[in-house]
Chain A
Amino acid sequence: MSLFDIIFYFFAIVTLVSAGIVVFSRNIIYSAFSLLFTFFGVAGIYILLNADFIAVAQLLIYVGGILVLLLFGVMLTNKVISVDIKTGTVQTLPALLLVAMTAGSLCGIFYVTDWKIVQSVPEVSTTTYSLGEMFMTTYLLPFEVASVILLVALIGAVMIARRDKQE
């Protein structure tokens, strides 16, 4: 077992355990904070897959943006002072069966399939340069559309969130 494998299993365990806490914890604050470790673990997995730019973007956007947004949501929609910050669950048993079936079949398919993979990695120092080149050439239209979507989402979120009370 090489060092690479050990690091992979470390990040995988961090990701899965904290994702389990997110899903199974009764306390919504615990869920929100263990989501932080899930995002860190996934960023580590990205680094193992030679995706340095995506890993940093993951840290900046998910941890710095989305997680803070979710925490704001938690704080604003629960009475934090009160003890009653637990949340309920519905239909646990059917969901557990469904999810176990999904996970089992997915893992089986992934294991059985004979993937045509290229094991070797060409000598690239960073992916940022080539990613930027691809954004400006092959994927120019989706890139611009994504910027418009971000603008629309920003304006839409502000418009929805602050509604004046005049009715």
Chain B
Amino acid sequence: MQVGLTHYLILSAILFSLGIYGVVTRKNAILVLMGIELILNSANINFIAFSRYSGMQLDGQVIAVFVIILAAAEAAVALAIVLNIYQRFKTVNVDEINKLKE
């Protein structure tokens, strides 16, 4: 069977599921962030695959660039928050951080 749109979509579906699994099960906040990056990458594969198989209309690729931009911004802010949490609580395990105010 020749590689077509379905192959890319199934690849991105599996990548998405792996990302969801990482986000749901991991305790470490940074590994949760890695799961989010996997999810964003799988969404990007979908966008670009549809862009390619709609006769090379580039709108999907433009959206993919925006997704990459937002991922960069999200990673920067989230890492800053995680560093702050570590300074305050001395841990980054999300199940131990359960206080709004000390």
Q: Do A51 and B4 have beta carbons less than 8 Å apart? A: no
Residues of chain A within 8 A (CB-CB) of B92 are 77-78
Q: A65-B72, A115-B5 are in contact. Are A22 and B48 (CB under 8 A)?
A: no
Q: Which 6 A-B pairs have the closest CB atoms?
A: A153-B73, A118-B55, A103-B17, A106-B13, A161-B80, A160-B80
Known: A22-B35, A135-B62. 12 other contacts (CB 8 A): A5-B2, A23-B19, A49-B8, A53-B61, A73-B79, A91-B25, A98-B20, A98-B24, A124-B56, A149-B70, A153-B74, A160-B80
Report how many A-B pairs have Cβ atoms within 8 Å: 236
- Which of A4, A91, A110, A153 is B76 in contact with, Cβ under 8 Å? A153
Name, among A49, A130, A163, the residue most crowded by chain B CB atoms within 10 Å (CB to CB): A49
Q: Are A5 and B3 in contact, with the CB atoms below 8 A?
A: yes
Report the separation of the CA atoms of residues A119 and B53 in the bound assembly, to the nearest whole angstrom: 6
The residue in A9, A54, A96, A156 that gathers the most chain B C-beta atoms within 10 A of its C-beta is A54
Interface residue? B10 (CB, 8 A): yes
Q: Which of the residues B31, B53, B68 comes within 8 Å of A115, measured between beta carbons?
A: B53
A97→B57 CA distance, assembly (Å): 37
Partner of A15, one of B11, B66, B74: B11
Determine the distance from Cα of A5 to Cα of B51 in the docked complex, in whole angstroms.
Answer: 19
The reply to whether B68 and A20 contact each other, CB–CB distance below 8 Å, is no
**Nearest neighbor of B87 in chain A, beta-carbon distance:** A163
**Which bucket holds chain A's interface residue count?**
35 or more
Which B residue sits closest to A142, measured CB to CB? B66
Q: How far is the CA of A103 from the CA of B41 in the complex (A)?
A: 16
- Contacting residues of chain A (1-35) with chain B, CB-CB under 8 angstroms: 2, 4-5, 8-9, 12, 15-16, 19-20, 22-23, 28, 31-32, 35
Tell me what chain B mostly uses at the interface: helix, strand, loop, or mixed: helix
List, in ascending order, chain A residues with CB within 8 A of B20's CB. Answer: 98-99, 102
Most chain-A CB neighbours within 10 Å: which of B21, B38, B84, B93?
Answer: B21
**Contact status B15-A106, CB under 8 Å:** no
Tell whether, in the assembled complex, residue B41 and residue A90 are in contact, meaning their CB atoms are under 8 Å apart.
no
Q: Which residues of chain A are within 8 angstroms of B21 by Cβ–Cβ distance?
A: 23, 95-96, 99
* Cβ contact within 8 Å between B17 and A102: yes
Minimum distance in angstroms from A167 CB to a CB of chain B = 12
- Does A66 reach chain B (CB closer than 8 Å)? yes
Which residues of chain B come closer than 8 Å to A153, judged between CB atoms? Answer: 72-74, 76-77
A42 to chain B: which residues have CB within 8 Å?
Answer: 15, 41, 44-45
0/1 per residue, A134-166, Cβ < 8 Å to B?
Answer: 110011001000100110111011101101000
